[in-house]
Structures are given as structure tokens and as C-alpha cells.
Structure 1
Amino acid sequence: MLRLPALRRNLLMRQNSTVASKQLSLPRLPVPDLRKTLDRYLRSIEPFLLEDEAHGGLPFDTSYSLRAKWADEFATGVGKLCQERLLALDRASPNNWLDDNFWMNKAYLEWRAPLLVNSNWWLAFHDDERIPSLAKEAKDGITPWQVRRAAWLVHRVLCFKDRLDRQELYPDTTRTGIWLRASTAKMFNVARIPKPMCDILSKPPSTSNPDAQKIYIMVHNWCYAIPVYHPATSPSKLVDVQEIETRIRSAVVDAEQRLAAGEKAVPVGALTADDRDKWAQNLQHLLTLSPQNQRTHRIICQSLLGLSLDGTSPTFSPTGQESLTSHLLAIRATNANVANRIFDKAHTVIVDPSTRAGASGEHSPCDALVPSIVDEWALVDGLDSSSFRVAEPLPFEPAVPEQSHWERLDWDVDDKIKSECINALARADAIIANSDPNAYCFQEYGTDWIKDTLKQSPDAYIQMVLQLAYYKTRGEFTAIYETALTRMFKRGRTETIRSFTRQSRAWVLSMLDGDVSQQTRRNLLHNALHAHSTLMREATSGRGIDRHLLGLKLMLRPLSGEQSALLDDELFQRSQTWRLSTSGLSAGNYFRGTGFGATYEDGYGINYMAAPDMIKFGIESKVSSPRTSTEGLKDAIFEALANMRTLCLTTNAHTASEHAQVSSHL
């Protein structure tokens, strides 16, 4: 789980630090030792081999001995060559062997699947208590309070960016400061650009570039550019929130007048939700149609961030699970607003007529934890009416808006693009219809009880919850992906925690075996939690295995006849088939819910936010799979949380007296 305890404690504090003359430098991400990676890999496949044996496959010892033999051959043969090549690549890399060379492409940019649901993350914000209740009842049409909250959120997000750049928050004298500043820089002024076979990221513009000082907004599927910095100042100074509101209002009035006159936007935004190769073809065609299209796309890519003002609020009840569900669906995208997004953008703030808000973003520039930190800071202070000329925003004026501080970013289209937009909308609707995301809040206990009473890692505990819930709903185990940060290293990003272990398997099976005592189950849980915490330490300290195995495989030269029985083994792939893809954010005090798509059609994407007194789960699965159910897994998770608490309250901590019984289950 991506935990930043110090960051969470201090994020809301105002810090003014003098930057030391010599900045702290981070160590390079190491190339792990080959033999240790192979040994850890063998350890990671043990539960799969035990499962195979239990279901009529080869005996564990036979299967394990074969893989150990392949690992030895790899270590002394072609694997040794691959390791040497990887070390040479690292020496030639300015930052590290992974990020400089292949991680971005292999993890993100080579994927051809649509970004909608499959890759983009989403966050639903809590409502702003300072906004009148009456304003939150709006259902249709752009509203003045919607614009005001949008202006406030954009201003707050950019205030965080500026303070971080000035090193008033987390200066470069701290490791957290180095990581946060470098990571946050990647979520602004950037977008993913579709290309055949492999996408690219747009090149960040210089800070003096006027386009770098703009945001773009989507309203009624039209796009507008709005400058939000004073161009004559050096460094550029953010305009005040009142002026941002005024500029957004002017663009909205223009869009409203166009709509009233019978004009309708061509839904080009839907093309960004399409298959990446299809979008690459259509973008190339768009760029050849006119210089205006080239300018529109350039500004979208180079702008600070996106703002989507949705024109409808899906039917929802003001409170309860139904409200949360509809909010989450609207932020992820619905049939009504899918064309009011640019899915390529790294960070988009989204506000609907009722002032419900959230954010979504393209995953490749930085992981979702980074924008969640920025957005959480933006949400800490609710809307301050004293920052505006009038306490309550006035209705939109029908007069022709003054155009000095906004610009239409229209697309010149032909019949081909119009047709492609219709087709893209249909494909996006199918993706949306097949996606079943929701968020749930378990409120019986949270991290305080896990840490204070059990003296255990909340993250490890939640991972055991997920494994127990999955097994109870599926009757089988799966490979589990959990994200870990390698932020202590220069340009470090993520590593995999392989949560399914021999110890976790033994504990899950014991929970469904009526002949196993409660105390034995407790001891097995202790072992599983300890094993998981060990894996987390290894992953965050540069000793994980999945990135290293990827690098080794990419160093292999099959055209020269190089091959490896270990890497060609079906179990090698099966152990990376993540039907449970999981990740954790902060406590999420300012978020109603979050989520991302399942990696596999019959799997789950699960995000969780563990607070002192509650745990929130964001779950996504596919409607088309008869083997998954978002609601069903939630019920199993809540049941597992209750059962585990009962287990821990009715037994003693790990005892040596039952060591023999515990060992027999392993």
C-alpha cells in the first residue's frame, strides 16, 4: 500500500523552510542481485504449486525441483548474460535502468486498450459544506455555483503547485520533498499522445510559454482555453480565484449561447476514449485538416490541467449508497458526459450542476497517489465566499461575453471525423455499460484498532481481507498485484508486492476448515501478516522481483537463439496474471470514493483508503463476467473484516505452543 505517514501528518501544515545550499540527493534504483531475485521468485510460486498439487497436479516437491533446476540454469547461463546487459544499461542510464529505458512503454504506452475505465483512475470528492443546500439540488444545465466551485478547486490545485515549486511545502532538503516535487511536476502541462503501436507523452512546455499558463475547460462538449496566470510577472503569478471564476463564466456564457442558437458540438472528446490505434489514426487525420486543429491539440497537451463542467447530474438521492454510486459513475464517465472529457490529460477536475466534484486522469505520467495528494490539499479549505465580489454567484448574463481572457478551441471536422465520433461514442458506451464500479465504506473499525490492538500493519491486514473475500466468492486463489512505491530512489516509481504467499494461502484455507482451531487460525494469520510485511519492505527498498524479471526478459535475445525454460514456463505468466489488482491511497478523509478498472475481464480493480476509524473500498469489475460481482465481493470483504475481528478478539497473539500445528498447514 502506498503509505506516506509523515506526509499525511504534515500535508495540511504550512511549512516555511530555508532550502539548504546543497540539496539532498537520492540514491539510484539498484539492479537487484540475480540469485536473490530468483530465490524470491521461487518462493513466490510456492502457493501456486501447492494449489496444483491439491487439485490433482504433480507433487509439490517434483514441480518445485523442476523450477529450481531451471532457475539454477538461468543463473549460470543466459540469465547471467541478461544480468550483465542490464548492469551495462544501468551504467549508461542517467537516472536508472528501469525508468530511463522501458518502464513507461511496457507498463502504459504500448497498451492499445481504451483509456476509459481500463487505465484512467477516478476520485469522487466530498461535497463542499459551504455551498448552500439549495444549490446542490440542481440537476441540469451549467449552474453559477458549479462554476464557482470549479474555479475554487482549480485555484487551490494551482496554489499547491506554486507553493511546492517555491519550496514552501516540502523543500528539496527532504526525501519526501524531492519525490513529491518531481512527481507532481509530471501531472501538469502534459498529456498522452496516441501513436501507432506505442503512444508518447507530450513534451512539457517552457514556463514562459503562454500555453503553459492556461487551463482548458470542456462544456457541452466544446473546448475553451483560459489563461490563469498574469503574463507580465516573473515568475508568473496566479490570478485570484475571483478572476478565474469570471473567465470561466465568460466561456460558459459563450457555450450556452451557442447551444441556445441550435449549434451542437461535434463530440471529438469521445475519440480520446477509443482504442489507442484508432484514436491515433483519427488524430492524425484531424491534424491534417487545419492549423486550428493543430493549435487546439497543442494547447490541450501543454495546458496545466483540464476542467470538465458537466451539463447533467444523474438522478441520485441526496444521501446514502445510491448517492455515492451515482457520483462515482459520473466522475468515471457516463454515456451523457463521455465526450465532455479529454481522457489523454493527466489531471482533469470534474464538477456537475449540483457542485458534486471529483477528478480523473491518465495514469502514465504519475501514479494516482500523486494527484490524490494534490487534490486532498485543495479540498482541505472549503469555498471562501470572502474571496469573491459577491457572496452568492449571480445568474449568467445573456450579454455577449468579453473575449480577452478566453479562447474557443474548436475542431475543424469533416464527414469522416463525424462518423468516427459516432462510432467512438458507441464503443465508449459499451465499455461503460460493461463496467461496474462502486465504493463502499466499512465503519466498524479502521487502522487505529489494527495498529493499537493487534500491533499489525493495516496494509497487510487489508490484503488478507481481500484474499479471504476473493477465495470465498470464487473457490480458488489468484495472483495478486499490490502497488509499492520505490520513492526513496532517484526517479523511482513502483514495484509489485506479490500478496499471494504460501502463508496467506494456509491462513485462508484454515478459515474455511471447520476442524482448525481459532488459535491456530490466529497463528496462521500472524505468519501471513509477517510474510506480507517482509515483501513490502523488499519491494520498497529496491529488492522486489517483478521489475527485475521484466528487465531480464527484455535483455534476452531470442533472435540469436537465446531462451529460458524458466521464463517460458506457463507458471511464470500465471504468477503475473493479476485478477486481483490492488492499491491503497491515503486515509481519504476528503474523498467519497475512488477506483480504477480491473486488469482482467474476470478480475477486480480494488483501491482502498484506510482511515483511523473506517476503511473505504473502491471496486471495479466487468458486468460481462459471470465470475465477478462488485456487490458480491463487497459483501465478502465486509464479512471477512467482521470475522477477522472476532478471530483476533477471541484468541491470543501468536504463540509458540501451536507451532507444530501451524507448520502442518504450510
Structure 2
Amino acid sequence: MRSASPAAPKQLSLPRLPVPELGQTLNRYLKSLEPFILEDERHGGLAFQTALNLRKKWADEFATGVGKLCQDRLLALDRASPNNWLEDNFWTNKTYFEWRVPLLVNSNWWLALGDDEHVPLRARENMTDLTPWQVRRAAWLVHRVLSFKHLMDRQELYPETTRTGISLRDSVAKMFNTARIPKPRCDIHSKPPSPTVFNAETQKIYIMVHGWCYAIPVYEPTSPPRLLDVQEIETRMRSAVVDAQKRLASGASAVQIGALTADGRDKWAENLEYLLELSPQNQKTHRTICQSLIGVSLDGPSPTFASVGQRALTSHLHAIRSTHSNIANRIFDKPFTLIVDPSTRAGVSGEHSPCDALVPSMIADWALAEGIELAQFKDKEPAPFPASPPQQENWERLDWVVDEKIKSECVDAMARAKAIIDDSDANVFWFKDYGTDWIKDALKQSPDAYIQMVLQLAYYRTSGEFTATYETALTRMFKRGRTETIRTFTTESRAWVLAMLQTRRNLLHHAIHKHSSLTREATTGRGIDRHLLGLRLMLRPLNGEEAALFDDPLFSRSQEWKLSTSALSAGSLFSGTGFGASYEDGYGINYLAAPDMIKFGIESKSACPYTSTDRLKVAIFDALAELKSLCLATDGAAISQSQRAEISSHL
């Protein structure tokens, strides 16, 4: 008797991102305003209840009037959308593409990777130019990243039989073979390659060397295409490097087109249009860059290089974010750019719009999980670069045809980019006293909520005031879900921060529990900020529609994210991470919470007299140490009646 064949794995599907119920969103929004109103009252504003009642009146008018109409329109839009009402219609445009500021620091993220222990220490000494070990590590990381893509494509890694696989597969696909294209007023993504039409450009990477750009095929032109072994990728990259060094030695210099991609988006759109009209060669170069798999920047020696301690962490992070010397060695429009310097320090930088930074960090983490395997190379020690590239070329120059106008624009763009970097007060530090294990085991609390309370306390102590705080919550449980906002500044977190003058542990627990509750609501499609955005966009002002709810100054103030935060993975293989502050007088904070330590990347603006990355760093360190002492020294259940009265006064 023939046995039955095994059943095919059940194909899972993700639910649609819901349109939240209007009344629930408005109630949550009003609750989120309470700490702002309490602060206004404390500083001489309207009485709390009077101010809150006014907002309740506006919310009720909205719910029974034009808000109901906006909600119906949003529901109709959702029914007409293939994936969800948010991602399909306006999220990318409103959050990224309509923003006209330069991508450098303001929008792009950066991630510093840990060292590869298989690279000998002597490879990091006497660095005066690009090095063979630099190219070897770059080739290894390229091979690992593309192996990740290959396994994802074949569903051998995070298959679509899991919810993580469904969500991750779509996001990973957006990291490759694409780029952001500048357009006046609103950018676009390059057209994705057809899966059924052969396109040689999609099987290449591009590398930047001394500001010159090269395309390198990394697949055999077979059916299906086969990823080259890492030895061949290294050989091809070395050949391009030798060509660039020969050009440099002859007195040539690259036109700094990379700096144009770091400029304001409208300015870059204007210059790109001019470039594309200038020559068909420019059209081909730009098309290849957009359609290539990923970018690789082989940087020259950094003048800020430090080899040990905190200075090493900071200089590494700065090199990945960008420094004066490597601005033109980047294409900032690309979603995923590997960066390796002569010491083999490496990192990743990327354009933010295709997907959120957790996805490229997962790719990078997988790539780092295995260090260089010397057995896969013909020689354990990479040979010095030859004087000339081999006769058989397996790479191509991606040169630009330019004129005096473009040369002048590059100089101006470079000056503006340098000013952005000079104003970027970015730093990274590792807190090593404890990590998530102690928070979970000793306190039985959410590590993320705990860290967010630390940031609330540190910000208040350094600024003397509270601010709207943004934390990213992922909505990956939904089809094409992206993010929602966790509004960390709550009545409970405010009460705890104010009471820290008397160090009250129970208030900390209340604040952490409140934050954990908000996180659950945000990740399960019950957040408020995306819904409020959708409702506001459904208004038709030309038809006379208006809402006092949205005209309220407190509505805008509650979304001024001067404290913008995001958590990545545990980051055991990363040296640090970062992104730019959303406001000139704010902070951008990315953190990696590991079992035994917490790594922070902090960015603020040097020109602002009210913020300081170093000052906030010290305040975060002090708060983390103080909170542990508080929790070890106090019994949260033992609070006197007088203490309870004091706590209530802050609520």
C-alpha cells in the first residue's frame, strides 16, 4: 500500500492593518494630552480640568461631525487598497518623499559593525591608502549579504510558513535593486526590475573608490543566476580598486557626484535632471546604480581614526554616518550601502523609505554571524595590489559626463554637506553595568519600557522640561505593516520623573506598565498617530471642511518629537548605531539592549545651545545607575500614606 505524500506546509497570511475605531482613537489621544496640560497648569496656564474639557468638546464635535465623514472616507479607502489604507496611499510620501531636507544625517540611518576577529591586528596598522584586507572584508560581507537574500528568495530562511517570514520577505525585497530618485516636491522609488525579464544590471553591485563608481557583476549569467564565490568577488573588487589607484596616481580626480546626493532634495532633483539631459552615459550610470543590488563604499583613511576605547567607538560611528573625507564616496539614495575603511572597520548606511532600520540590521547581523573563512580564499594573506589591473576586465567604470556647471554644483553641495556634518553632534557609548537580563529577572519589567523611562528622566534633567517623545513600534503582524508611534511622555512617566527628587520606586513601575500597555496598543493596530494622520488627510479644506481638534496648538505640540527614539536588536555584533534628530533642538536616540549591556547612539545639533549629546549621555548613564540603586534599595510595596499623597500630587 503506497503511503500518502506529506501535506504541503500551510501557507499563512497576515491580517490587514485595521482602521481603528474613531471613538477609541480620540479617547487615547485625549489621554495622551493630559501630561502636557498638567505641565501647562504647573507653569501658569489654564486649570487642568478646564483645558481638558475644551479638548473633549473639540473631540466630541469632531466625532459627531466632520470626523465621522473622514472616518467613512478612510474605511472606503481601505476597502479599495490592495494591502492597507496607510502604506498603499500616503505613508511613504508624507513621511519621507515630501520631506525636502538632505538625506545625510536628517533621514538616513547608520550602523557600525563589530570587527572581524579573523582579520589580523597588523592589518589595522600603518594605513595610508586602501588595503587588501579592506577589500577582502568588503567582499566577504557582500557575499554574506547576498547569501542572505538568496536564502530568503528560496524560502530557506524565514519561510512564508511563518508570520515573521511573510513580513520580512516583503521588506527584504525592498532593500535590493532599488533607489530613491529625487523629484521636485516629492521623490519616487526607482521602478523595480521585472522578475520575468533578464536584466544584467540587477546582478551587479556598485562600489565607490576615491569618489569613482564601478559596477561589478556578482552572479554567473546562468539560469538561474549563480552567486559568485567570495574569492571571485574579491578578485573583481581588487581589479576596480587598482584601476582607481592608477587613475589617482596619474593626477586624475573624481567629480564629486556623491555630494550632490547629500544635498537638499529639490536641489538634487534639479541637478540630476540636468545630468541626465547632458549625456546618455549619465542615464546609463544612474540606471545601473538604481538597479544594482547594493552599494559598497571603500573609504580611504579617516583623519579621525582612533584605535582604542570610547574614541574608537565614536570615530567609527562618525565614519559610517559620514565625515568630510568620505561624503563624495557615497550614494545617499541607496537603501543599503556597505562601508569598509582601510582598517577593515565596517558599517552600513541606508536610505530610510523602503523599510525600517530593523530589517537592514537583521541582514547585517546575519552577515556578521560568520567571520571571514580563510579556507574560501586561495591565499590566507591577501597579496599587495598590483601596479595595474589585469587585462581581462570584470568590472566597468560608471563615470559621469559633466560640465563646469555640475563641477560648481558639486563644490557647493560639498560645502553644504560639510556644514551638516559639522552640526551633527553624534556619539555612541556602551553602558556595561547591566542589561536586559537584570531588568527582566530582578525587576520583572519590560527592558524597553525601562530604558524609555531612563530617557525621560535624562531629558528632563538636562533640559528642565518635558517633550513629546516618539518611539517606533513595529506593526509587522499586519500585511505591509510599518510602524506606529508609542507616545512615551505620559501622565505616569511625568509623575515618576517629578517624584525622582524623592526617588519613588512604585511610580517607576506605574510608568513602565503604562508604557508597556501603549506598546501593545501600537503594535496591534490600536495606536493613534497614524489614524489621526489618515483622518486629517481625509479632510477637504477646499470644501470648507475644518476641525478645531486639528487646529489646536496642543495637537501640533504633542507631535513635536524633540526626543525621537528607536530600539533595534540586542546588537551583540554591532559597535553602535544612530540617526539624526528630528528637530534642531532635539535628539535622535537609537539603542541596542543586550543581556549584559545597553548601547546608545545619540545625535543632536552642535549649533543648538539647549542640547548636548555629551550632557545627555552623562544623564543617561547616571539615570541607569541611579535606577538600579533605587530598585535594589526600596521595597515597592512599602509606601507610607504621606508618600502616597506626595505621589498623587504629581498625577
With the shorter chain as reference, the TM-score category is over 0.9
- The range that moved more, 127-136 or 71-80, is 127-136
Indicate if the aligned counterparts of 1:579 and 1:598 stay in contact, CA closer than 8 A: yes
Q: Give the match for residue 530 of structure 1.
A: 513
Structure 1 residue 657, shift from structure 2 partner: 6.7
Distance 1:337 1:608 in 2: 25
Structure 1 residue 523, shift from structure 2 partner: 1.1
Q: Give the match for residue 607 of structure 1.
A: 590
Unpaired runs of at least 5, structure 2: 1-5
Please give the secondary structure, in 1, of the residue aligned with 2:20: coil
Q: Does 1:221 align with 2:202?
A: no
Please give the secondary structure, in 1, of the residue aligned with 2:116: coil
Which structure 2 residues correspond to residues 293-372 of structure 1 after superposition, within 5 A? 293-372=282-361
Aligned equivalent of 1:452, options 413, 427, 441: 441
Aligned equivalent of 1:38, options 26, 29, 46: 26
Please give the secondary structure, in 2, of the residue aligned with 1:337: helix
Structure 1 residue 180, shift from structure 2 partner: 1.1
Q: Does 1:232 align with 2:215?
A: no
Indicate if the aligned counterparts of 2:243 and 2:388 stay in contact, CA closer than 8 A: no
Amino acid at match of 2:557: R
Please give the secondary structure, in 1, of the residue aligned with 2:443: coil
Distance 1:311 1:665 in 2: 55
Q: Give the match for residue 378 of structure 1.
A: 367
Q: Give the match for residue 427 of structure 1.
A: 416
Q: Give the match for residue 136 of structure 1.
A: 124
Q: Does 1:252 align with 2:241?
A: yes
Q: Give the match for residue 627 of structure 2.
A: 644
Which structure 2 residues correspond to residues 258-657 of structure 1 after superposition, within 5 A? 258-512=247-501, 516=502, 518=503, 521-654=504-637
Distance 1:209 1:656 in 2: 70
Q: Does 1:74 align with 2:62?
A: yes
Indicate if the aligned counterparts of 1:269 and 1:342 stay in contact, CA closer than 8 A: yes
Indicate if the aligned counterparts of 2:259 and 2:414 stay in contact, CA closer than 8 A: yes
Deviations, residues 313-352 of structure 1 (Å, cap 9, x unaligned): 3343321011111111111011100000000000000001
% identical aligned pairs: 72
Distance 1:400 1:249 in 2: 8
Please give the secondary structure, in 2, of the residue aligned with 1:617: strand
Please give the secondary structure, in 2, of the residue aligned with 1:495: strand
Structure 1 residue 22, shift from structure 2 partner: 4.1
Q: How many equivalent pairs are there?
A: 642
Amino acid at match of 1:35: G
Structure 1 residue 142, shift from structure 2 partner: 1.2
Q: Give the match for residue 8 of structure 1.
A: none
Structure 1 residue 556, shift from structure 2 partner: 0.3
Deviations, residues 415-472 of structure 1 (Å, cap 9, x unaligned): 1100000000000000000001110000001000000000000000000000000000
Amino acid at match of 1:460: A
Which of structure 1's runs of 4+ aligned residues deviate more than 6 A?
none
Distance 2:553 2:47 in 1: 17
Please give the secondary structure, in 1, of the residue aligned with 2:184: coil
Distance 1:85 1:55 in 2: 40
Distance 1:316 1:329 in 2: 9
Question: Structure 2 vs 1, CA of residues 349 and 211 (structure 1 numbering), >3 Å: closer, same or farther?
Answer: same
Please give the secondary structure, in 1, of the residue aligned with 2:303: coil
Amino acid at match of 2:433: E
Distance 1:402 1:310 in 2: 25
Q: Give the match for residue 183 of structure 2.
A: 195
Deviations, residues 62-96 of structure 1 (Å, cap 9, x unaligned): 00000000000000000000000000000000000
Under a length normalisation based on structure 2, what TM-score does the superposition of the two structures give? Answer: 0.97
Indicate if the aligned counterparts of 1:348 and 1:360 stay in contact, CA closer than 8 A: yes
Distance 1:151 1:400 in 2: 17
Aligned residues: CA RMSD:
1.2
Q: Does 1:93 align with 2:81?
A: yes
Structure 1 residue 204, shift from structure 2 partner: 1.4
Please give the secondary structure, in 2, of the residue aligned with 1:171: coil
Structure 1 residue 164, shift from structure 2 partner: 1.2
Distance 1:33 1:138 in 2: 63
Unpaired runs of at least 5, structure 1: 1-17
Amino acid at match of 2:431: F
